[in-house]
Structure 1
């Protein structure tokens, strides 16, 4: 019974890759770019499919005591630095009421060109939105900017807020 959902997921991933190839990306139309991001990541509602596409689980659910959660990050190191809407650096999954991980958001991570947290002249922008940062507090990552996009779960804090009050970590 499990083979059919995986086959459907693989078919959706193939379709998404065709959409990405046909899309100019970051063409200045935030709505078009959001559609591109959704088409490219919609095939990854299963964490297993994300892992098959080289997204590696961090196995740590990220949350903030006041602002809410981000969930589990599944990162693809080849996508770090990409500002193409179809190539997020991370997929974010939040546990549902039964503990199963559900796709909720994507994250784009771009290295800070000068590695100086005191300057922001190199801040990237996508979807008409400036990235957050620069940040220097994540082990294994250089100084960087990030942008979260809550494509798959409503976020009362906003589409581009880093945390979602509706995401709870175990």
Structure 2
């Protein structure tokens, strides 16, 4: 695990990247597996469409976790998918310095995560759950809430 606060620029050492090709796992299971992996402490989980031998459509499950969570991730993948094996390798992850701020919109406040490069904000991302809640509460399209946040950021 990193010895740095999560908002400071740093490199996470002792991380593991896991890959599994799944050509016979039903699509309904994939979301379930993703939730289980995140609940168990995965840093990231995603699927990529691929083609395997004989042009069989499939998905590749990839996940990132700390080395101390690897055994649990492996157990989940092997128990909850149709794979008979996994690929894994150590990896280091660079993390930008981050700061959180609140932006006021006409519908209410939204938390925004900002990425800093040499003490300068170079990217900003509104918190999805806050935007979603405002969109639902005020019966406006989610894209309008995002647009309002981005206007406030300029």
TM-score normalized by the length of structure 2: 0.26
Which structure would you say has the larger Rg?
2
Structure with the bigger RCO (C-alpha within 8 Å, sep 6+) is: 2
* TM-score (normalised: structure 1): 0.24
Structure whose residues are more often strand by fraction: 2
Which has more helix, going by share of residues? 2
